[in-house]
Structure 1
Amino acid sequence: MKTIGLLGGMTWHSTHEYYRLFNELVNKRLGKEHAAKVLIYSFNFQELRNWQLEDTTFLAEQLALQAKKLETAGADIILIGANTMHEYYQQVQNALSIQVLHIGDAVGRTIKQKKLKKVALLGTKYTMQGDFYKNKLAEYDIETITPSNEEQKIINDIIYNELVKGQIIEKSKQAYLKIINKMKESYDIEGVILGCTEIPLLIKPEDTELKTFNTTEIHALSAVNFALDNK
């Protein structure tokens, strides 16, 4: 079994989900008392937020530095445990001799397997407004639709004011579902990418008739497949 290296703490709530998924998925495959081999570096999320607002160059350097430490400690593959931080994917990959498993590749392959062509992308403002995620999905012939600027603010505020603190509020869930339903009516989307690793804490598959893509689950499954099958 290969060892998974995870850059976590973005936030600790989603890191907890990653760790749970790694172990459950390995045990489901191997049975008995088997569990995943995992190395985690957990960031102080407040520091990350400060760097994100004040010094993104330093932020990218820190991601690369801690990923290199995981590689040195014995990790065979690295995961960046947050959609937004994949904006700095290339800087991290350039610092390593092992693969960084891009969350967009994992999601893109999964959507393509479902034969969907047009999906909504929900996430932080950095993910929704940036090109790094959309361009990656375009490699899989997937068209990505994002909400309006006003709706993006609602989504982003709920993430940073509630979800990163572990607060799950019904009113916020309904706000998300209203945006999803509006996008379905306006753009005829076929599915929804829950493109922040905290959003699946709020939105569940049974909450909408559309196919939802839990990026945390998809990313974790891809890592376990690599760890067990080397692919």
Structure 2
Amino acid sequence: MQKIIGLIGGMSWESSAEYYRIINELVRERLGGLRSAQCLMWSFDFAEIEALQSTGHWDDATQEMIKAAQRLERGGADFVVICTNTMHRMADDVQAAINIPLLHIADPTAERMKKAGLSKVGLLGTAFTMEQDFYKGRLINKHGFDVLVPDDDDRKIVHQIIYDELVQGIVNESSRLAYREIIDRLVARGAQAIILGCTEIMLLVKQSDSSVPVYDTTTIHAEAAVEHSLAG
């Protein structure tokens, strides 16, 4: 029997659609035939969330995330998945407000990297994810990684491409080349792997764009959700 996956999405819907696709493909692969995932999704109007992010109203954003998780719990979800890296900034507050587990996006990625014997990794994501401690701090303090982020100018490029292009479904070859150059600079500083720490980056960057392993948090998180759903 499947556990019901509660998805908090819409941040952006472009990557949330990938979660839905990957989760259902994996369930069909695992169970066969016409099988698909049992899941619920609460999808935000991302313009409202982005406005709270850009103006620093994180407390208001936290309350919105808590309400979304509680809606999913009331709807029958057995656990919650936040379909974005950035909004894991309030993951602890969301978990404290519900009575079902929250599957943190950083943990399954970290476990895979540890199994691969990695110790120093590069992190790409929104400016919030690259600059604040809620994500990289978890990788450092809980999982023991040395985490590298791009320099100031490169962080601006990574962030701008996410918000001006990827969350709007725009994929430009010039942006792919810019990301490749940024990845190369992280590798030159010693990064043994690159974490795609924004769920939209997988729309732009593939393994072929990096000389070191790429860890796509969208796919890994979705896979972990399926494993949790089908466990037992």
In the alignment, the residues of structure 2 paired with residue 182 and residue 225 of structure 1 have an alpha-carbon distance, to the nearest angstrom, of 35
* Pair 1:40-2:18 in alignment: no
Per the alignment, residue 141 of structure 1 pairs with 144
- Is it true that 1:168 corresponds to 2:171 in the alignment? yes
2:10 corresponds in structure 1 to 9
Q: Percent identity?
A: 42
Q: String of CA shifts for 1:146-189, please: whole Å, max 9, x gaps.
A: 0001110010010011111100000000000001111211x221
Distance 1:52 1:151 in 2: 20
Q: Where does 1:7-86 land on structure 2 (aligned, <5 Å)?
A: 7-54=8-55, 55-86=57-88
Alignment equivalent of 1:181, drawn from 179, 184, 209: 184
Among residues 184, 195, 198, which one is paired with 2:197 in the alignment?
Answer: 195
Secondary structure of 1:213's match?
strand
Structure 1: distance between partners of 2:64 and 2:144: 33
Which residue identity lines up with residue 8 of structure 1 in the other structure? Answer: G
- Superposed, 1:203-222 pairs within 5 Å as 203-222=205-224
Measure the CA separation in 1 of the matches of 2:211 and 2:54.
36
> Residue 170 of structure 1 aligns to which amino acid in structure 2?
E
Deviations 1:63-107 (A, max 9, x none): 001110101101011011100000010111111001111101111
Distance 2:29 2:208 in 1: 23
Partner Cα distance (1:53, 1:210) in 2: 32
User: What is the Cα-based RMSD across aligned positions, in Å?
Assistant: 0.9
Per-residue Cα deviation, 1:178-218 (whole angstroms, up to 9, x for no partner): 01111211x22110000000001000112222100000001
**Which of 117, 120, 124 is residue 126 of structure 2 equivalent to?**
124
Q: Give the C-alpha shift of residue 142 in structure 1.
A: 1.3
Q: Secondary structure at the match of 1:39?
A: strand
**Which of 158, 161, 176 is matched with 2:161 structurally?**
158
TM-score (structure 2 length as normaliser): 0.97
What secondary structure sits across from 2:136 in the alignment? helix
How is 1:91-106 mapped onto 2 (pairs within 5 angstroms)?
Answer: 91-106=93-108
Letter in 1 for 2:83: G
Q: Given the two structures, how large is their TM-score scaled by the length of structure 1? A: 0.97
| Structure 1 residue runs without a partner (length 5+) | none
Name the SS of the counterpart of 1:100 in structure 2.
Answer: coil
Q: Which amino acid aligns with 2:29?
A: K
What's the CA shift string for 1:29-64, capped at 9, x where partnerless? Answer: 111111000100000000001122332111100100
SS at match of 1:99: coil
Contiguous gaps of at least 5 residues in structure 2 = none
Once residues 202 and 210 of structure 2 are traced to their aligned partners in structure 1, the CA distance between those partners, rounded to angstroms, is 12
Amino acid across the alignment from 1:45: F
